[in-house]
Each structure stands twice: as C-alpha cells, then as structure tokens.
Amino acid sequence: MIRRLFRPNYAQKLSLLATLPLIVAGLCIAALVAIQSRSMAEREIQVLERQLIEAKKAELRNYVTQARNGFMHIYGPAAPDDQAAKEKVTQTLSAMIYGKDGFFFVYDYDGTNLVSPRQTEFINRNWSGLTDGNGVPIVDTFIDIARQGAGWHSFMWEKPSTGEEAQMIAYVVGLQDWQWAVGTGVFIDDVLASIASSRQEVENRVRRTFLYIGAITLVALILVFASGMLLNIRERRLADAKLKELTQRVFDAQEEERGRVARELHDSISQLLVGVRYALETVKRRISRGEHDAVAQPLDRGVDGLATAITEVRRISRDLRPGVLDDLGLGPALKALTDDFATRTGIDTEFTTVVFRNRLDQEAKIALYRVAQEALTNIERHSGATRVTMDLRGHAKGATMRITDNGSGLPPEQARSGAGIGLRNMQERMEQLDGTLRILSSRNAGPGKTLGKSGSGTVIEASLPLSHLLPPGDEVAAHRLP
C-alpha cells in the first residue's frame, strides 16, 4: 500500500496534478480572506473600543464637573485650614453615589482616604503605595494627577457589587488649596465584554468563511475528480481502441508483407526455378540417350535462369533490408532504389541529393527509406506517372525528402480516408520521430514543382527535425552521404 501510495499511476498523477493547484488556491484564498477579515474587524473593534471608552470618559468628566459645581460655593471662600468647610464637602461627596458601583473618592496628598462611601473600610487610612493585581500604582498616581490639575487613570479595582476585581477608569482633579485629590471612576468590564464579544463574532465569521471555502473547495475537488475519472475512462477506452487498431494494422502490415514476399517468390523465383529444373531434366534425358552434343543449349538456359533467380533473391532481400543503407548511408540506398525502380517500371526517375555536414541517425535513415519505398510502390501501382523526381537534402531545421510525380494524383480526402495502410504507415513513421509528412497536389506545391503533365500529380514531403542529425565524427563520417 505504501509503495502504491508513493508510486502513483498515470491516472493518480493526473488527478494530483489537477487537484493540488485547486487545494493550494483554496488554502491561499482562505488564508487571505481570514487575514483581511481579521485585520478589518480589528480596526473596527479598536475604533469601537476607543469610542466606548471616550464616552465613559466624557461621562466621568461630567460627573466630576457636577460634583465640583455642587461644592464650589463651600470650597471657594473657605480657608486652607477651614475644617468645617472640609467636613461639609466630604459629606456632600459621600452622598454622591450613582448606579450600582458609582461613587466619589477623596485622598489628601499624603495618601490618606477621606471619602469612600461604598468601601468605608478605606476611610481615614493611608493608602500610599497601593497597587492593583497587575502592580499598577493607584493612590500615588491619583496624587500625581491631582498635583498637575486633572487627568485620567486606568487600573484594576474591586467592584463593590461583586467583590471581584475589574478594570476601572478614574478621572481625578486637584483641590490645591486643601491638597485633595477628588475623583470618581467607572468600571469598563461591560466595554471589555462587548469588545471580546465582537472579537468572538469575528472569529466565528472567519470560521464560517473557512467552512464555506472548504465546502466549495471540496465540491470543486469532487467535480475535478469525477471529471478526471470520466476523462481517464474515456481516454483509456480510446487508447484501448487505438491499441487494438494499431495491433490490427501491424498484423495487416505483416500479412501484406508476407503476401508480397509470397507473390515475389511465386511469380519470379518459383517460375525461374521451375525453368531451371526443366532445363536440367532436359539435359539429363539427352545425356541418358547419349546426345552429348545437344546439352549445351538447355544448360545455358538453366545457368541463365539461376543467375536471374539469384538476382531476384538479392532484389527481394534488398527490399526487405538493403545492405547499402547500413554500409554507405541513405543517399546511396535511395539512389539504388530509384535506379532499380526506373529499370523495373520504365518510369523516368531522377534522384538528387547533397552531402550532409551531419549524418542522420539509424532510425531516421530507415524511416525515410521506408517512406520512399512506399511512395514509389504507390506511384507504380496507382499513379500512372511517366516521371518521378526525388530530392534529399539537409538544412538548418533538419532534413527533408521530397518525392514528386506527374501522375493522376490522389483522390479526394473523403474517397481515400478508408484506403490502404500505406499512407498511414508513412505518417506514423514520421510522427514517431517527431517529423512531419505532407501529401499534396504538385500544382499546389509551389512554383516550379510541377512536372508538366496534364494530371495534377502528387508531392510527398517528409521532414525530420534537427535532433535526428548526428554531430560530425571522423573525417570520413563527416563527408559521408546521409
């Protein structure tokens, strides 16, 4: 299982290739959406927090202003050591409580608490050096703010209604004549709870977005996987059909080649050997009758028949696999092929070529030779041509072989689409080597390419890429024909 997991087949590779970019894109989109959502939400939450805290501060300032207005008629004309006035002000501030936890406090600059109506245990005790649970100084900071006139301070303080510490914001003003720090505070745990709720809502939205993106990605993956499976099944069926067709064509080509060789052997070699046998039997009969002077003529016929048979065997062998192709190269092999074609058919045939600076590899030579062989066979059987030209040359893009005849030309595409396998074989040989095969009318092949007959003629152009030209080796190989 592990081996199959790390060695996926072609279908699995195709599925991975299709799904991995989708998964990566989904993850990137989800991450980008999450980052952007959190960033925008955090900015909005910070704005909201500032607005809520500013509202609390404005409320505190109003409370302190109202309290000062309530005792200014006492504080204003009083002397710094007027104990009666101080007593009236402390009583007034002690009575100013609001809400469940709101109250006013007073500390002198030495740190002694003078007013604390909701936490009376603080009164008349010195709280200099008092800090909250986080180590933030409280009373000393009140006194510093009061000495400077007025200001804000945030700290943790025990909430009278619950007995638990909560965040508080206090506004403190200084009564410099009496050296008092007077202030009030408001707990902002409701603000913090609202901010925490907003952040949690943002996280829930981001989580839902992730789920939505994940669901969309999953659906897309399922669709891609299903499409990949359908395409894979379809391509496999097409590949199986093409494989069966190719196998059948291979069998047809084998049978056609066997039939051709059988016809060659039957039509030429067999008849020649029968003639040789008849001549030898004639010689045998004449010798048995003592007619020694009459055996020369049948012996000559038998020798001529054997020579012709040997020539035919060599021709058939050359057609199957020409030795000159391996020994001298493609140029001499095609020259021999066209000379034999001209001798056998009587068709005027011309072959031209140039010396290649680079040599064709073995597969390219065999492919071009077989294309030429198939083309000449088709010309002989079907074209009715009287003249054929074959040109082979190398160029900057590779090598090209061009075969032109002045015959009747090929039938329309729809008429020859189901024709024999000769043209398909030529096409497949070129495609196997990344080459091209063009079949067109010689009238459309370009200026100067027609051969002057009334028929349209045919041009077969086989081209191979530069990758099939070998680099030059020794001096002999470098100047050898292709």
Task: Give, for all 482 residues of the chain, the pLDDT tens digit.
Answer: 455 545 666 666 666 676 777 778 878 887 888 788 778 878 888 888 788 888 888 888 888 888 888 888 888 888 988 999 999 999 999 988 888 888 999 999 999 999 999 888 999 999 999 999 889 999 999 999 999 999 999 999 988 888 888 888 999 999 999 999 999 988 888 888 888 888 788 888 878 887 888 888 888 778 877 777 787 778 778 888 888 887 777 777 677 777 777 777 777 777 878 888 888 888 888 888 877 777 788 788 888 888 888 877 877 776 666 666 777 778 888 888 898 889 888 999 999 988 665 478 888 888 888 899 889 988 888 888 899 999 998 887 888 999 999 888 776 553 444 445 677 778 888 888 888 999 887 555 554 444 444 456 889 999 988 887 776 554 344 334 44
For 211, residues 6+ apart whose C-beta sits below 8 A from its C-beta are none
| DSSP bridge pairs for 394 | 399
Distance of CA 406 to the CA centre of its chain: 50
Q: What HEC string does 190-258 produce?
A: HHHHHHHHHHHHHHHHHHHHHHHHHHHHHHHHHHHHHHHHHHHHHHHHHHHHHHHHHHHHHHHHHHHHH
Last residue of a domain, one of 153, 169, 187: 187
Identify whether 39 is part of a domain: no
Last residue of a domain, one of 187, 218, 241: 187
Q: Which of the 8 DSSP states describes residue 126?
A: B
Residue with tokens 């007027």: 82
Identify whether 336 is part of a domain: yes
Q: Which of the 8 DSSP states describes residue 480?
A: S
Report the C-alpha dihedral over residues 71, 76, 82, 85, rounded to 10 degrees: -20
Distance of CA 148 to the CA centre of its chain: 69
Q: What is the pTM of this model?
A: 0.46
Helix (H, G, I), strand (E, B) or coil at 114: strand
β pairing state of 348-353 and 387-395: parallel
| DSSP bridge pairs for 390 | 351, 403
Residue pair 89/168 in contact (Cβ under 8 Å)? The answer is: no
The helix (run of H) or strand (run of E) holding residue 71 is helix 10-75
| DSSP bridge pairs for 181 | 107, 174
- Tell me the CATH number at 116: 3.30.450.20
Closest CA to 372 of 430, 448, 434: 430
CA atoms of 64 and 151, how far apart (whole Å): 11
| DSSP bridge pairs for 108 | 180
CA-angle at 452, arms to 449 and 453, nearest 5°:
120
- Tell me the CATH number at 337: 3.30.565.10
Q: Which long-range contacts (CB under 8 A, 24 or more apart) does 14-23 make?
A: 14/228, 14/232, 15/224, 15/225, 15/228, 15/229, 18/224, 18/228, 19/221, 19/224, 19/225, 22/217, 22/220, 22/221, 22/224, 23/217, 23/221
Identify whether 96 is part of a domain: no
Structural domains of the chain, count? 2
CA-angle at 286, arms to 283 and 292, nearest 5°:
95
In terms of residue numbers, what domain contains 154?
101-187
Tokens of 190: 């409701």
Amino acid (one-letter) located at 52: L
Tokens of 293: 């002077």
Residue pair 463/398 in contact (Cβ under 8 Å)? The answer is: yes
Q: Which of the 8 DSSP states describes residue 175?
A: E
Closest CA to 463 of 391, 380, 389, 399: 399
CA atoms of 262 and 268, how far apart (whole Å): 10
CA atoms of 153 and 141, how far apart (whole Å): 8
Last residue of a domain, one of 164, 187, 210: 187
Identify whether 87 is part of a domain: no
Exposure on the CB side of residue 368, measured as CA atoms within 13 A? 32
